[in-house]
Amino acid sequence: MSSRTDRYEGHDYYGVDELLSEEHLLARDAVRAWVKSEVTPVIETYAERAECPAHLFKGLAEIGAFGPSLPAEYGGGGMDEIAYGIIMQELERGDSGIRSMASVQGSLVMYPIYRYASEEQKRKYLPKLASGELIGCFGLTEPDFGSNPAGMISTVRDDGDAYILNGSKMWITNSPVADLAVVWARDASGTILGMVVEKDWKGVSAPAIHGKWSLRASITGELIFEDVRVPKSHVFPTVRGLKGPLSCLSKARYGIAWGVIGAALDCYDTALRYSKERIQFDRPIAGFQLTQKKLAEMITEITKAQLLAWRLGVLANAGKASPAQISMAKRNNVHMALEVARESRQILGGMGITNEFPIMRHMMNLETVLTYEGTHDIHLLITGLDVTGLNAFGG
């Protein structure tokens, strides 16, 4: 007898596919096929070598993974927020680092340029970012200010038709391979400004950070600015203050809430198949109650996460997804995926720690995803503030 999950391709236990449009399903299937043919065969090797598969940037652009919900006029996909989410899910089924390549380019670089830059800057950068001709990165975190970006000490000094930028940014996805960076820094009055900085400008450097055991197929670096002359035309004219970068984070966190479901599905699928084939004590380990407890709890949590993501998508399409609702989904779904990875790893026993299966790589990746774009605890405090009205961050 085939199980219910076998009957639903992709382990869609509650029939969430029925809530999706033809366009969503087409986008999902196209990205799923691309990941299967371009990512899955090479990802273990890149992760093992701690090397970024930079050749995939072009392919990501071709499947429309950069800015799927940004207007087509500027090179975006012109689709809705659910399409964006489901594309992130399929990318992260391959690897969180591949999803990161798309999250940063689309949500943290193209989105702020689309939303806050001048028309001239939009026309200059967006089509080339959408096509993968230019790669971008996003500089918010600093060595001494991670969870609390309001404390940032990078500064700009007014110098006539330009600003002089000084400071450094830490943990910046793609910075060593990027052509440009969206950077956030304070002016003399303490106001936070956003700007586009090209990497080959005098005074900009982006050394890589080595030694990561997580997100190994994604390249991470610093951004160092020493008296960099930033023309005023490159400073976003329409946004001031921390809400600029935080609005970009909302967009990217939304994508992560969907994305990590893909990593969880890949782990669950691997564990389910393995448990039916692996014989111990003369029967498949899937027949033991303790294995079934793990599998049953995994598919329950995945299903809840799928429904949460879908509902968040509906709210986002209506322009009604609040930052706190996005935080709840990011926190819940990343934690869910990490727990699914850990339980799947146990089901595979010793084989679970090898690179013959994707589980350990997903698990290590998800440790980063739990921390970046706001840590697990910061998102809890955002929910706490939202429901009590009392700020528990500090101060």
Q: Are 228 and 201 in contact (CB under 8 A)?
A: yes
Report the residue number, 233 or 247, with the smaller CB distance to ligand FAD.
247
**Shortest distance in whole angstroms from residue 278 CB to ligand FAD:** 33
Burial class, 155, CB count within 10 angstroms (exposed 0-12 / middle 13-18 / buried 19+): middle
Query: Does 191 help bind ligand TGC (rule: CB under 6 A)?
Result: no
Query: Does 382 help bind ligand TGC (rule: CB under 6 A)?
Result: yes
**Shortest distance in whole angstroms from residue 259 CB to ligand FAD:** 14
Burial class, 343, CB count within 10 angstroms (exposed 0-12 / middle 13-18 / buried 19+): buried
Looking at 25, 296, 377, 391, which residue binds ligand FAD (CB under 6 A)?
A: 377
Bridge partners, 137 (sequence order):
181
Nearest CA to 94 out of 266, 337, 226, 222 is that of 266
Q: How many residues does the chain have?
A: 395
Looking at 220, 327, 333, 344, which residue binds ligand FAD (CB under 6 A)?
A: 220
Q: Which does 227 bind (CB under 5 to 8 A by kind): ligand TGC, ligand FAD, none?
A: none
Q: Are 118 and 237 in contact (CB under 8 A)?
A: yes
Looking at 123, 243, 293, 320, which residue binds ligand TGC (CB under 6 A)?
A: 243
Residue 289 is encoded by which pair of tokens? Answer: 């109650």
**Shortest distance in whole angstroms from residue 174 CB to ligand FAD:** 7
Report the residue number, 214 or 306, with the smaller CB distance to ligand FAD.
214
Looking at 150, 153, 296, 353, which residue binds ligand TGC (CB under 6 A)?
A: 150
C-alpha triplet 235, 240, 244: angle, nearest 5°:
90
Is 120 tagged catalytic?
Answer: no
164-195 CB burial, b ≥16 within 10 A, e <16: bbbbbbbbbbbbbbbbbbbbbbeeeeeebbbb
Query: Does 378 help bind ligand TGC (rule: CB under 6 A)?
Result: yes
Query: Does 274 help bind ligand TGC (rule: CB under 6 A)?
Result: no
Nearest CA to 137 out of 160, 116, 106, 162 is that of 106
Query: Does 215 help bind ligand FAD (rule: CB under 6 A)?
Result: yes
Q: What's the rounded Cα separation, in Å, for the pair 127 and 134? A: 9
Span of 154-162, 179-187, 246-254, 294-302 interacting with ligand TGC by CB under 6 A: 246-254
* Contact residues for ligand TGC, defined by CB under 6 A: 100, 103-104, 138, 140-141, 147-150, 173, 241-243, 246-247, 249-250, 252, 323, 372-374, 378, 382, 393
Residues identified as active-site: 373
* Contact residues for ligand FAD, defined by CB under 6 A: 104, 137-141, 146-147, 171-173, 215, 220, 368, 371-375, 377-378, 381, 393-394
